[in-house]
Amino acid sequence: MIELLSAEDVTRHRAALSALLRDAVDSGASIGFLPPLAEAEADAYWRGVVAAVREGSCLLLVARDAEGGADAPEGGADAPERGADATEGEIVGTAQLLLATRPNALHRAEVAKVIVHTKVRRRGIGHALMLAVEERWCSTRARATRQSGSTPRSATGWPARFPRTRRVPTARSIRARSTTGC
């Protein structure tokens, strides 16, 4: 299940999000942090995400384990945090949509921190997150995109190859045009 989190939701689930971030970094993901990731550094990062979500420059989507966390710890330190949310399932993935906020860039956004927990990788969760990001982008910025005349690229339909705008010279073609013989 994919859902959009509010700033309050991010605050409430910050411990689980920090654990997910640490899992990704410690397993070698190149997402802007060096292993081992300290708890305080992960928590500070998510506090920054809370601020960005609150100001409207970031949309945070999370994937939850539909089976209620088969690989999730039973009880333990995070049980009180989950409380009534235990039926929602464990957070096993995230994706952020960083929205451009300048008036001349409202048609743009950046996808950031697509993270899937190592225990649930290769199950299509990252793909589902990207589809949800694309859907959210289209619904959030459709008007700005149409006004600017640009079209967002599809998460599932990237062009096979980009058109060539000019021919790149090769060493052979340069030698053929050279008059000095160098």
What pTM does this model have?
A: 0.69
Q: Identify whether 176 is part of a domain.
A: no
Q: Identify whether 174 is part of a domain.
A: no
Q: Identify whether 32 is part of a domain.
A: yes
Q: Identify whether 149 is part of a domain.
A: yes
Q: Identify whether 182 is part of a domain.
A: no
Q: Identify whether 169 is part of a domain.
A: no
pLDDT at position 141: 63
pLDDT at position 127: 95
- The CATH number that applies at residue 143 is 3.40.630.30
Q: Identify whether 178 is part of a domain.
A: no
pLDDT at position 16: 97
Three-state secondary structure of the chain: CEEEECHHHHHHCHHHHHHHHHHHHHCCCCCCCCCCCCHHHHHHHHHHHHHHHHHCCEEEEEEECCCCCCCCCCCCCCHHHHHHHHHHCCEEEEEEEEECCCHHHCCCEEEEEEEECHHHCCCCHHHHHHHHHHHHHHHHHHHHHHHHCCCCCCCCCCCCCCCCCCCCCCHHHHHHHCCCCC
pLDDT at position 105: 82
Q: Identify whether 87 is part of a domain.
A: yes
pLDDT at position 172: 57
Q: Residue 136: which domain range?
A: 2-160
pLDDT at position 72: 43
Give the chain's domain count: 1
pLDDT in tens, 142-166: 655 555 555 555 555 544 344 444 5
List the chain residues with pLDDT less than 50.
69-87, 158-165, 178, 180-182
